[in-house]
Chain A
Amino acid sequence: MIESERQRCRLHFDKTPAMRFTGHLDLYRALERTIRRAALPLAYSQGFSPHPKLQLAAALPLGFTSRAEIADMWLEQAVDPAHVLTRLQDAAPPGLAFRDASPVPAREPTLQQQVAEAAYDVDLDDPAPLDLETRIVLLLATPELRRQRRGKEYDLRPLLISLELARPGRLRMQLSAREGATGRPEAVLEALGLDPLAARVERTALIFAPSTPETVTA
């Protein structure tokens, strides 16, 4: 089967509380198994140990839920997108809710290359500190936020695009999600002096970079 006959299909789905503690690799596996149960002609790479042609836009940390996950899958033959969606919905485990399936141009850049930002809602388990709004203002006013991750130091501030208190006990933030420049909500919570483990984080949007000329090949 040559590449051009394959259909690249973009899936929009939610990762619901049932799968909160399913990590990135396991989510990938769960998606693959859902597609297999749905009996869709998922394409596999050639070679000694074939892997499915399936891409996730951006890793979602363990413990997060999402209303905005995106994956691209390649099918060996074109399938009616409405049919794809119904089949996936029927085959989905309790933790996955498919919202949309639509074909995309095969030559588009990878999803990881296209995603630029991600938005999150954070619900705090415990009552918010009284000065939380002040902390937010101060944090946003800081020119530089040196943080450590896996032994490496980096500046969180340029990765934080926006941060606000959406309502009492709920923070809303937007962070860079480019490859190699990913801001993490837990880091923001820590910078605010909050316990990142005492919060429920939900991804609410993945925002794509404005399309560059070479992506317009449809």
Chain B
Amino acid sequence: MAPNSIPTQSSLTAPEIERRLHHILPRVQKPGRYTGGELNQVVKDWDATSLRAALVFPDVYDLGMSNLGVAILYDLLNRQPDMLAERVYAPWPDMDAALRAAGLPLFGLETKHPLQAFDLIGVSLPYETLYTNVLTVLDLGGVPLRAVERGQGDPLVIAGGHAAFNPEPMSDFIDAFVIGEGEDVLLEIARLVLEWKASGGPRPSLLRDLARLRGVYVPSLYRVAYAPDGTPDRIEPAAPEARLPVLKRIVPRLPPPLTRLVVPYIDVTHNRIPVEIQRGCTRGCRFCQAGMITRPVRERPVAEIVDAIEQGLAHTGYEEVGLLSLSSSDYDEILELVRQVSARFAGRHLNINLPSLRIESFSVELMDLLQGEASRSGFTLAPEAATERMREIINKPVSTEQVLATAREIYRRGWHLIKLYFMIGHPSETLEDVQAIADLSKAVLAEGRAVIGPRASVHVGVSTFIPKPHTPFQWVPCDTLESIRAKQTLLKQQLRGPGLKLSWTQPEETQLEAWLSRGDRRLGAVILEAWRRGARFDAWQEHFNHAAWMQAFEATGLDPAFYTHRERPIDETLPWDVIDAGVHKSFLTEDYLWSLQGRTRVDCRERCFACGILPKFAALRREHPGEGWECPEVRSPARQAAAAAVEAP
């Protein structure tokens, strides 16, 4: 299907869109994705509301409805008397074609107004393989694709999420990025848009005002100069308002959890009440971008979590609760939390999940306590690597004996299935390290067989490492396609037979995610070109179109390997240096060097490694003392200033 084959009529009125939709919906798959009208959706009077925002999750409804970030911002905006927020998801290709054939624009689910009619479009970018879908959504919504093409009457397009920590590849299409946690800054942006709308001022002045906000990156206000070898040479502000770097925003304490969630009528990916028990992680796994960019750790009190579950149940009727965090075992009062939750909700036919547990028998006890008599589907462990050497390199120290002892305990307590997650593709990895993954998986299965016999099974999920921005591995190259294939072939040969199941990522998909993660702003042309050549839903294997991407690189004259298969010198200017994730570059550099030596760091609750979070957010922490940051206490302003001076890059 060729984009723009039939222009959509973004001037259609909402009732007219609704009327025409009725003729289309019976003819597409899962029409319940496009109706809105669910329990707890918020419908406001369009004409009586000054600021109208569309929150876009650029993947299909089924996935997008499970995203907590969008739900939080939806609730936040709709609480403001003069603002409204509606939801927009990427239509599945059949609906995309049906909308184009009918000349219908993409619309907000709540009132069916075309996307172009909103003042503010907020795009969630949790992962990079959504980028082409952003273009689909804007295009179907009648919004000019490139920021420079947008004029006075067009919506302001902002984006945030983990992928926005390298905003450069999408900077052609996004007017402003929110770096870090959106809870506070979104309202500041919405207020600015409101004032701008009322004043009728020029669009460039709005952009400059946005750049004044802490945590906001307006790409058009920066100039990038490239060295002859193609690396970014200098990134500099092109306006006095533009900060360099843009430090991420964080909330000093987590606001009370969202409990009035929109409940879909159709089955979606996660039908559950999601409750974040903490944000951030103190483990310091070197491959983990989330662990680096979501610091510091902030916990929610047990009572608040238990209350949130109770209220969430009353508002949704869900049968499932997810207690979310990057590392549940590290929640200070995890045992107390599990005790209270299991006591309070026993006998209510609830399935309570506690993902991301450490590999130790205590985790099994926790799950045992939490799940009571409920069905036990599978127990997930993520050793990531199978040799001690690799574990030291990635800083996820866990011994093989610990894995096996934990597995034994899991099978003993009634689970039949263990899901093991590993990662391949680090440059230091050898085929022996990969062989060890197969050996460890088989050893886990053998533990299961010894305890429960042939019912025991192991599912092995093997992802491929991508050196993500703002991690200690940001300088290292990606593994080559040939090498990844050889490693996957080894695993496929080894991990077959009764009780074993292996899943892996297509190397080409990993490669795409790597380009998009590590690219600079010149990649915008590649994204646009790939989209024009049909790239859609890149995260979905059945839609992934590798040829479109290769052609797009060729057409734009950029070398894909430049972005992914090159070890970058420590002193190279990185495209994402314009963003400060709160962690010193010197800390990342040191951690990278440590990884080369196989030196590990302990959990930073035990010892502060001066990653930079404390000096950078010292003022915020001083204003909010005792709010559950899991960093050590800062002793005095003087000491702190001294520490900051020492740590400055």
Given A18-B35, A94-B39, decide whether A33 and B375 contact each other with a Cβ distance below 8 A.
Answer: no
Complex interface bits, B111-148 against A, C-beta within 8 A gives 1, otherwise 0: 00000000000000000000000000000000000000
Point out the residue from B26, B266, B316 that lies within 8 Å of A33, measured CB to CB: B316
Is residue A49 contacting chain B, with contact meaning CB distance below 8 A? yes
Stretch from A4-12, A23-31, A127-135, A171-179 forming part of the interface with B: A23-31
Complex interface bits, A8-52 against B, C-beta within 8 A gives 1, otherwise 0: 000000000011111101100110111111010000100011101
Given A35-B317, A37-B315, A37-B317, decide whether A95 and B267 contact each other with a Cβ distance below 8 A.
Answer: no
**CB-defined contacts of B31 to chain A, threshold 8 Å:** 21, 62-63
User: Shortest CB–CB separation between residue B93 and chain A, in angstroms?
Assistant: 18
User: Shortest CB–CB separation between residue B91 and chain A, in angstroms?
Assistant: 14
Is residue B38 contacting chain A, with contact meaning CB distance below 8 A? yes
Complex interface bits, A85-118 against B, C-beta within 8 A gives 1, otherwise 0: 0000001011100000000000000000000000
Point out the residue from A18, A30, A197 that lies within 8 Å of B27, measured CB to CB: A197
Query: Could you tell me if B265 and A22 are in contact, using CB atoms closer than 8 angstroms?
Result: yes
Complex interface bits, B24-43 against A, C-beta within 8 A gives 1, otherwise 0: 01110011100101110000
Given A33-B263, A44-B349, A95-B37, decide whether A22 and B32 contact each other with a Cβ distance below 8 A.
Answer: yes
User: Shortest CB–CB separation between residue B9 and chain A, in angstroms?
Assistant: 20
B residues 37-74 with Cβ under 8 Å of A? 37-39
Given A26-B266, A26-B267, decide whether A21 and B32 contact each other with a Cβ distance below 8 A.
Answer: yes
CA distance A23 to B263 in the complex (A): 15
Question: Nearest CB to that of B33 among chain A residues?
Answer: A21
Complex interface bits, A191-211 against B, C-beta within 8 A gives 1, otherwise 0: 000000110000000000000
Given A32-B317, A33-B318, A37-B317, decide whether A48 and B32 contact each other with a Cβ distance below 8 A.
Answer: no
CA distance A20 to B22 in the complex (A): 11
Query: Could you tell me if A37 and B349 are in contact, using CB atoms closer than 8 angstroms?
Result: no
Query: Could you tell me if A94 and B38 are in contact, using CB atoms closer than 8 angstroms?
Result: yes
Point out the residue from B26, B314, B316, B317 that lies within 8 Å of A63, measured CB to CB: B26
Is residue B313 contacting chain A, with contact meaning CB distance below 8 A? yes
| Count of residues in A whose CB is under 8 Å from the partner chain | 31
| Count of residues in B whose CB is under 8 Å from the partner chain | 26
User: Shortest CB–CB separation between residue B594 and chain A, in angstroms?
Assistant: 47
Is residue B23 contacting chain A, with contact meaning CB distance below 8 A? yes
Query: Could you tell me if B318 and A21 are in contact, using CB atoms closer than 8 angstroms?
Result: no
Is residue A144 contacting chain B, with contact meaning CB distance below 8 A? no
Is residue A125 contacting chain B, with contact meaning CB distance below 8 A? yes
Point out the residue from B23, B26, B32 that lies within 8 Å of A26, measured CB to CB: B32
**CB-defined contacts of B38 to chain A, threshold 8 Å:** 93-94
CA distance A125 to B19 in the complex (A): 11
Question: Nearest CB to that of B38 among chain A residues?
Answer: A93
Query: Could you tell me if B35 and A21 are in contact, using CB atoms closer than 8 angstroms?
Result: yes
User: Shortest CB–CB separation between residue A199 and chain B, in angstroms?
Assistant: 9
B residues 221-271 with Cβ under 8 Å of A? 263, 265-267, 271
**CB-defined contacts of A197 to chain B, threshold 8 Å:** 26-27
Complex interface bits, A61-79 against B, C-beta within 8 A gives 1, otherwise 0: 0110000000000000000
Query: Could you tell me if B27 and A19 are in contact, using CB atoms closer than 8 angstroms?
Result: no
CA distance A44 to B37 in the complex (A): 29
CA distance A19 to B31 in the complex (A): 10
**CB-defined contacts of B349 to chain A, threshold 8 Å:** 44, 50, 52
**CB-defined contacts of A49 to chain B, threshold 8 Å:** 375
Given A44-B349, A49-B375, A63-B31, decide whether A18 and B37 contact each other with a Cβ distance below 8 A.
Answer: yes
User: Shortest CB–CB separation between residue A104 and chain B, in angstroms?
Assistant: 23
**CB-defined contacts of A32 to chain B, threshold 8 Å:** 317, 319
Given A32-B317, A94-B38, decide whether A22 and B26 contact each other with a Cβ distance below 8 A.
Answer: no
Point out the residue from B25, B27, B266, B317 that lies within 8 Å of A34, measured CB to CB: B317
Query: Could you tell me if B317 and A26 are in contact, using CB atoms closer than 8 angstroms?
Result: no
**CB-defined contacts of A18 to chain B, threshold 8 Å:** 35, 37, 265
**Interface on A for B, CB 8 Å cutoff?**
18-23, 25-26, 29-30, 32-37, 39, 44, 48-50, 52, 62-63, 91, 93-95, 125, 197-198
- CB-CB nearest 6 A-B residue pairs: A33-B317, A93-B39, A36-B317, A37-B317, A18-B37, A21-B31
Q: Besides the contacts A18-B37, A19-B265, A23-B32, what 17 more A-B pairs have beta carbons closer than 8 Å?
A: A18-B265, A19-B37, A20-B35, A21-B30, A21-B32, A22-B265, A25-B267, A26-B266, A33-B319, A34-B317, A35-B317, A36-B318, A63-B26, A93-B265, A95-B265, A125-B22, A197-B26
A and B contact pairs by CB, cutoff 8 A, 24 listed: A18-B265, A19-B37, A19-B265, A21-B31, A21-B32, A21-B265, A26-B32, A26-B267, A32-B317, A33-B263, A33-B317, A33-B318, A33-B319, A36-B313, A36-B318, A37-B315, A37-B316, A39-B314, A49-B375, A50-B349, A52-B349, A94-B38, A125-B22, A197-B27
